[in-house]
Homo-oligomer: A and B are copies of this chain.
Amino acid sequence: MANETVTAAKGFLAAGVACGIKSSGRMDLGLIHCPEGATAAGVFTTNKITSASVNVCRENVRRGQIKAFVVNSGNANACTGKVGRANAMVMCKKAAKELDTDQGSVLVASTGIIGEQLPMRKVAGGISAAAEKLAGGETAGTNFAKAIMTTDTEPKQGARVFEISGEEVRIGAAVKGAGMIGPNMATTICVITTDAVISKPLLIKALKRAVGASLNRLTVDGHQSTNDTAVIMSSGQAGNKIIKSQCPRYRKFLKNLIDLSRELAEKMALGAEGATRMFQVNIEGAASRKDAAKAARAVADYDLVKCAVHGADPNWGRIICAVGSSGVRVDGTKLSCYIGDVAVFRNGQPTRFDRKKVSDIIGQEKHEITVDLGAGTCSDYCYGCDLSREYITVNADYHT
Please give, as numbers and ranges, the residues of chain B lying within 8 Å of A330 by CB-CB distance. Answer: 48-49
Given contacts A310-B396, A325-B182, A393-B389, contact A332 B49 (CB under 8 A): yes
Q: How distant is the Cα of A399 from the Cα of B356 in the complex, in angstroms? A: 11
Report the minimal beta-carbon distance from A31 to chain B, rounded to whole angstroms.
25
Residue of A221, A222, A314, A386 most packed against chain B (CB within 10 A): A222
Is A340 in the interface zone, CB < 8 Å from B? no
A303 engages B79 (CB within 8 Å): no
A328 to B396 alpha-carbon distance, docked (Å) = 27
Residues in chain B near residue A389, CB distance under 8 A: 389, 392-393
In angstroms, Cα B225 to Cα A79, docked, is 36
Question: A120 near B: Cβ within 8 Å?
Answer: no
Interface residue from B48, B301, B308, B349 paired with A395 (Cβ < 8 Å)? B308
Chain A 369-400: CB-based contact to B (< 8 A → 1; otherwise 0): 00000000000000000111101110111111
Known contacts being A221-B302, A324-B48, is A392 close to B400, with CB within 8 Å?
A: no
- In the complex, the answer to whether B47 meets A325 with C-beta atoms within 8 Å is yes
Given the known A-B contacts A223-B325, A304-B221, A350-B80, are A114 and B311 also in contact in the complex, defined by CB atoms under 8 Å? no
- Alpha-carbon gap, A307 to B76, bound state (A): 19
Q: How far is the CA of A78 from the CA of B393 in the complex (A)?
A: 34
Asked whether, in the complex, the Cβ of A317 is within 8 Å of the Cβ of B114, the reply is yes
Tell me which residues across on chain B come within 8 A of A298, comparing CB atoms.
Answer: 223
Quick check: B318 and A114 within 8 Å, CB to CB?
yes
Q: Which residues of B contact A303 (CB under 8 A)?
A: 221-222, 303, 387, 391, 395
Does residue A12 face the partner (Cβ distance < 8 Å to B)?
no
Give CA–CA (A113, B386) in the complex, Å: 20
Residue from A225, A316, A348, A396 having most chain B Cβ neighbours under 10 A: A396
- Indicate whether A239 reaches chain B with its CB closer than 8 angstroms: no
Q: Which among A182, A301, A302, A318 has the highest number of chain B CB atoms within 10 Å? A: A318
Q: Are B304 and A223 within 8 A (Cβ)?
A: yes
A273 CB to nearest chain B CB (Å)? 9
Q: How far is the CA of A350 from the CA of B49 in the complex (A)?
A: 14
> Which residues of B lie under 8 Å from residue A101 when comparing CB positions?
none
CA distance A47 to B120 in the complex (A): 51
A-side residues, CB < 8 A to B, are 46-50, 76, 78-82, 113-117, 179-180, 182, 221-226, 298, 301-304, 307-308, 310-311, 313-318, 320-325, 327-330, 332, 335, 344-345, 348-350, 386-389, 391-393, 395-400
A-B contact pairs, 7 of them (CB 8 A): A80-B349, A115-B344, A223-B322, A225-B321, A317-B400, A387-B396, A392-B392
